[in-house]
Structure 1
Amino acid sequence: MTPNRSDRTRQLVVTVSEVACILGTLVGTGVIGTRVAESSGGALSADATLLAPAGPAFSIWSVIYLGLAAYTVWQWFPSVAVRPRVRRTGYLVATSMLLNATWLLVTQQGWIWLSVVVILALAIVLGLILQALAKQPPHGREEQIVLDGTIGLYTGWVSVAAFANVAAAGTSSGLQPPAATWVASAVLLLVIGLAWFISRRTGTRWTVALAMAWGLGWLAFGRLTGEPESALVGVTAVAVALGVLAVTLLGGRRSQARTALA
């Protein structure tokens, strides 16, 4: 099958969106702007809130950005452009890139609550991509890695980052709830519910679970070894990370059991 005009349009949109994403990244890393950790009055730094992961956690972005760049090149291959899953998700992937760039630009302006809206929109778009991908198995190993793998890591990390973003917005606005460590710990428990929901709607996604566990692990490290220090939040983050992995494992076993009975 030969790519048609619609495929070419989609490929161009994805490529332009990837360029915008790269430019946004250059801004967010401080190459042509202010680093994210230093923007918005420092509200998004690794020690700003109880739900902020430690600095090394953000290195996962390098893997995600590499995956998005690989996807942008890969989707230009004629045999790839006509695949149903690529056609179904191309514009959504492009939208996620644009939202990512928008988030970085918004934080540069210090619009912290608007950044919450953007990251929640990004999380929804990524969820829609996973749902679309779940409708049909990947066409070979390379599609599983470049498309499913990249979007899985992207979704898992953004899911954790969204909680941190909301906490940053609240703290920057002067919201200091009583028993803040207990509130933060309770909020973290919601991540297990989110992992369960994703597993139910999109099937077993180990890349999602691993990215979540990565973020939670570094959040725990930050609370147990850095500031603001909180043993309660740190231990809860470890427990939640293990819970996310357990939910994903159980989801995979249920899926295998249903297949065996079919």
Structure 2
Amino acid sequence: MRESKDVVRQITVAASATFALIGAFVGSGAYGGTPVEEVAGGALSADATVIAPAGSAFTIWSIIYLGLVAYAVWQMLPKQTNTELHRRVGYWVAASLVLNAAWILSIQFDMLALSVPVIILLLVVLVRAYLITVKLPAAGAIDAIITDGTIGLYLGWVCVATAANIAAWLTAIGFTGFGVSQDVWGVAVVFVAGAVGIALAARGRAHFAPSLSLSWGLAWVAVGRLTGDLISQPTAVAAIVALVAVLASAAVFTAARLKAEQTVR
């Protein structure tokens, strides 16, 4: 009975990965789709808001999708079938893949308002998946790279994407920031993103992946605000400070864990 449930889970993950890949191709402008940066009147373009990352930031999706495909294949291998990690995390990964595709579809149909709850739900699902990988150790280095690494990169990037998506929607509906300048809002949001990154580093200890992808996003926010059409030096400086803090915290917590392990031994 449990083995049959494992097979259903494995097929569900694989099917969800296929669905997400199709959505990614559509979102890139292939198969008649409109590139994400061009939909909704350019609300999600690199210069739409002060916290929008520069266009090159989105190349990270190639790595994330590669990792997700690798995970879909990896979790179907016989040795991975009945591991507690994949039993616990599999459906959460599948849910994230479906939500990813749903987000792209909402954008393709110019439903920017709908994309906000979808990406927030995606973030919640990824947080849950990440906490499972923190609690249940991977079975070796390969499992850690494919499972922990992919989920971590996915989560870190979606943290940045969620903030950018909400900002794009608020800008599109005419939100003026209660009279507060966009520079101040930009600094505040990137500092919140940095705080989230530090919290993930503290919770994950040696899980570097969320810190890397979140820092990647912050770095491209800085690039966008220093070189794009929408210049905001305060936001750029704040993004650089935040990414340094995220990477430093990841290093500190990892060193602390290694030291604790050596003490126990």
Letter in 2 for 1:216: L
Letter in 2 for 1:6: K
Contact 1:203 1:251 in 2 (8 A): yes
Contact 2:225 2:232 in 1 (8 A): yes
Question: Identity of counterpart residues, as a percentage?
Answer: 40
User: SS of the residue aligned with 2:223?
Assistant: helix
Contact 1:25 1:104 in 2 (8 A): yes
Q: CA deviation at 1:111?
A: 1.6
2:124 counterpart of 1:124? yes
2:12 aligned residue: 13
CA distance in 1, matches of 2:12, 2:187: 41
CA distance in 2, matches of 1:142, 1:254: 24
Aligned pairs for 1:53-202 (under 5 A) are 53-177=53-177, 178-202=180-204
Contact 1:223 1:230 in 2 (8 A): yes
CA distance in 1, matches of 2:261, 2:44: 44
Matched pairs, number: 261
Unaligned residue ranges in structure 2 (runs of 5+): none
Q: CA deviation at 1:255?
A: 2.4
- Larger mean CA deviation between 62-71 and 177-186 belongs to 177-186
CA distance in 2, matches of 1:200, 1:6: 34
User: SS of the residue aligned with 1:121?
Assistant: helix
Q: CA deviation at 1:203?
A: 2.7
Letter in 2 for 1:128: R
Q: CA deviation at 1:58?
A: 0.1
Cα RMSD for the two superposed structures: 1.5
Contact 2:19 2:101 in 1 (8 A): yes
2:25 aligned residue: 26
1:73-102 Cα deviation digits (max 9, x unpaired): 111111111111111100000000000000
Q: CA deviation at 1:257?
A: 4.0
Contact 2:57 2:216 in 1 (8 A): yes
Contact 1:192 1:247 in 2 (8 A): no
TM-score normalised by structure 2 residue count: 0.94
Unaligned residue ranges in structure 1 (runs of 5+): none
Contact 2:201 2:208 in 1 (8 A): no
CA distance in 2, matches of 1:102, 1:209: 26
Contact 1:191 1:244 in 2 (8 A): no
